[in-house]
Amino acid sequence: MNHFFTQIVVQTLKNKKGKSIAGESPAYSQFQLAKKFRELKIIFTHTLKDVVLITLGIFSAAFGFKGFLLTNHFIDGGATGISLLISALTSIPLYLLIICINIPFVILGYNVVGKAFAIKTALAISGLALVLATVQFPDITKDNLLVAIFGGFFLGAGIGLSVRGGAVIDGTEVLAIFLSKKFGATIGDIIIVINVVIFSAAAYLLSIEIALYSMITYLAASKTLDFVIEGIEEYTGVTIISTHSNDIRLMIIDVMGRGVTVYKGQRGFGKHGEKNDIDIVYTVITRLELNKLNTEIEKIDPHAFVIMSSVKDTKGGMIKKRPLNH
Which domains, from first to last, does the chain contain? 46-228 (no CATH), 235-311 (3.30.70.120)
Question: Distance between CA 249 and CA 95 in Å, rounded?
Answer: 42
pLDDT tens per residue, range 137-196: 888 888 889 999 999 999 989 988 988 888 888 888 788 877 877 777 776 677 778 888
pLDDT tens per residue, range 82-127: 888 898 888 888 889 999 999 998 898 888 888 888 899 999 999 9
- In which band, very low, low, confident or very high, does the pLDDT at 318 lie, cut at 50, 70 and 90? low
SS3 91: coil
pLDDT tens per residue, range 51-69: 999 999 999 999 998 888 8
DSSP string, 122-178: HHHHHHHHHHHHH---------HHHHHHHHHHHHHHHHHHHHHTT--S-THHHHHHH
pLDDT tens per residue, range 192-237: 788 888 888 888 888 899 888 888 988 888 888 877 865 545 688 8
Percent of the chain predicted with pLDDT > 90: 18
Q: At what angle do helices 208-228 and 144-164 cross, to 10 degrees?
A: 40
Amino acid identity of 223? K
pLDDT of 244 higher than 80: yes
Measured between its terminal Cα atoms, the distance across the chain in Å is 33
Please check whether residue 170 is in contact with residue 164, taking contact to mean a CB–CB distance below 8 angstroms. Answer: no
Please check whether residue 186 is in contact with residue 325, taking contact to mean a CB–CB distance below 8 angstroms. Answer: no
Q: What is the pLDDT of residue 63?
A: 93
How much is the pTM?
Answer: 0.70
Percent of the chain predicted with pLDDT > 70: 82
Mean pLDDT across the chain, nearest whole number? Answer: 81
pLDDT of 75 higher than 60: yes
Q: What is the pLDDT of residue 326?
A: 39
pLDDT tens per residue, range 38-49: 888 888 888 899
**Burial environment of residue 237 by CB neighbours within 10 A (0 to 12, 13 to 18, 19 or more):** middle
